[in-house]
Amino acid sequence: MAFLFVVSAGAISAPPAISMPRAGTDTLPDPRDPFYDAISEATTRFGIPAAWIRAVIRVESGGDPRAVSPVGAMGLMQVMPSTWAALTARHGLGRDPFDTRANILAGTAYLRELIDRYADLSTALAAYNAGPGRVDAWRARRRPLPTETVAYVTRITPLIGAPGGMWIAAMPIPAAPSWRAAGLFAQRNGDANPVSTNAPASHDIATPASPSVVATPVRRDGLFVPLSGS
């Protein structure tokens, strides 16, 4: 069971900007994309480059709007029911989690929140797959990331234009305590166990994102570190 924590707007400072992938047409929606309108709206509302949204769709569902995972994640961006309920109430997305527009907006809003929480794209992607609780445990040196999550981030980063030749860090240096490290995200049931290789982790949500914060180049001091010579 997921629990949502309500935090007043004045309780935390404004989230930092993140690094942006190198400039290029992939940061904009592709008119040939069947999901062009929804991706364009999501990019505008949440400041996430179109290439990032397309990459998540490709890896999460293979572009199938009716996809359902073994653990119940739904639609193009594989949003869990509890997360969907919170997001549709917050953003007015309607009742159908399989609606193309609604699902893309929900998944993008959730990714925005994770990016704002961790200020690092690769770490945010790991949390999108394994859940914030599992990533926080990894950052605190309590548990390794699931093998599926490592493979997930390794697969998705080239699709968003992140630098290649990256490798998973065996153990991160814990970040200094900050508002991002506070218990704003509730631990999911699935955080207690490794993520199944064929079952995306639930995408639970907490504090509202700041759509006005525009995404900026992927930081190189997060989940992955360069290979020797890269």
* Catalytic sites, residue numbers: 60
What the block records as the tokens of 88 is 């549709």
Please give, one letter per residue, the 3-state secondary structure of the chain. Answer: CCCECCCCHHHCCCCCCCCCCCCCHHHCCCCCCCCHHHHHHHHHHHCCCHHHHHHHHHHHHCCCCCCECCCCCECCCCECHHHHHHHHHHHCCCCCCCCHHHHHHHHHHHHHHHHHHHCCHHHHHHHHHHCHHHHHHHHCCCCCCCHHHHHHHHHHHHHHCCCCCEEECCCCCCCCCCHHHCCCECCCHHHHCCCCCCCCCCCCCCCCCCCCCCCCCCCCCCCEEECCCC
